[in-house]
Homo-oligomer: A and B are copies of this chain.
Amino acid sequence: MNKDIFFISDYITREKREKLHKHLGCLVWITGFSASGKSSIAKDIEKKLYDKGCISYALDGDNVRRALCKDLGFTKKERAENIRRIGEVCKLFVNAGIIVIAAFISPYKEDRKKVAQLVGEDRFIEVFADCPLEICVKRDPKGIYKRAIAGEVKNFTGIDADYEKPDNSTIHIKTDSVSIDKAGDIIFKYLTDNGYINF
């Protein structure tokens, strides 16, 4: 049906927006197990970007899974649709010249790759929040691993659903030994060193 939707050219290109914002639009995609520190790192980097006057926004389970994707569960197919929608939202933000930080388990390589292709490889920064599963299970701040192990929660990554580690993430952070603050610094430094942010 979508052949019946036509294009209108934009006056305000991403480049113009980036000039206004004084930084590029890009997507920092944080993948890793539940309790690996993804959302905390996202909030930390969001704060650091805000303090420098950058326009950024963090997306995670809280503001997406409960909202845009509230109709979706956790089967492989539903996870793919979840990540597809998130990817499309990230693309809108990146086109708006904003630095999006997306913190999602996103366990499948194929889904993450599709997001990278969607927003453009040069605007996609993959961060692997790498924390051994046994430590995440021990942390279990939400008690959800306990419930997954008991079989009360199904398709839970690391318990009865796979996690495919990135082969070649842009930034690899061992979140069992690196603090949230330090992780935020590493990402911020990457953004500045690679010209996403220019001061």
* A interface residues (Cβ-Cβ under 8 A, vs B): 1-2, 4-8, 10-12, 16-17, 20-21, 39-40, 43, 46-47, 50, 53, 55, 57-68, 70, 73-74, 85, 88-89, 91-93, 95-96, 98, 141-142, 144, 147, 153
Most buried by B among A58, A59, A95: A58
Contact yes or no, A11 B47, CB < 8 A: yes
A-B contact pairs, 19 of them (CB 8 A): A1-B73, A4-B147, A5-B65, A5-B66, A6-B61, A6-B62, A6-B141, A6-B142, A8-B39, A8-B40, A10-B58, A20-B50, A21-B55, A55-B55, A59-B92, A63-B92, A68-B85, A68-B89, A98-B98
Closest to A42 in B: B8
CA–CA, A138 and B89, complex, Å? 35
Contact yes or no, A92 B8, CB < 8 A: no
Contact A88/B67 with A39-B8, A43-B10, A50-B20 known, Cβ cut-off 8 Å: yes
Chain B residues whose C-beta falls within 8 Å of the C-beta of A17 in the assembled complex: 50
Contact yes or no, A11 B46, CB < 8 A: yes
Closest 9 CB pairs of A and B: A68-B88, A57-B96, A5-B61, A11-B47, A67-B88, A12-B50, A6-B142, A5-B65, A7-B62
Chain B residues whose C-beta falls within 8 Å of the C-beta of A64 in the assembled complex: 92
Closest to A144 in B: B4
Most buried by B among A2, A20, A62, A91: A2
Contact yes or no, B8 A62, CB < 8 A: yes
Chain B residues whose C-beta falls within 8 Å of the C-beta of A2 in the assembled complex: 65-66, 70
CA–CA, A28 and B141, complex, Å? 39
Closest to A11 in B: B47
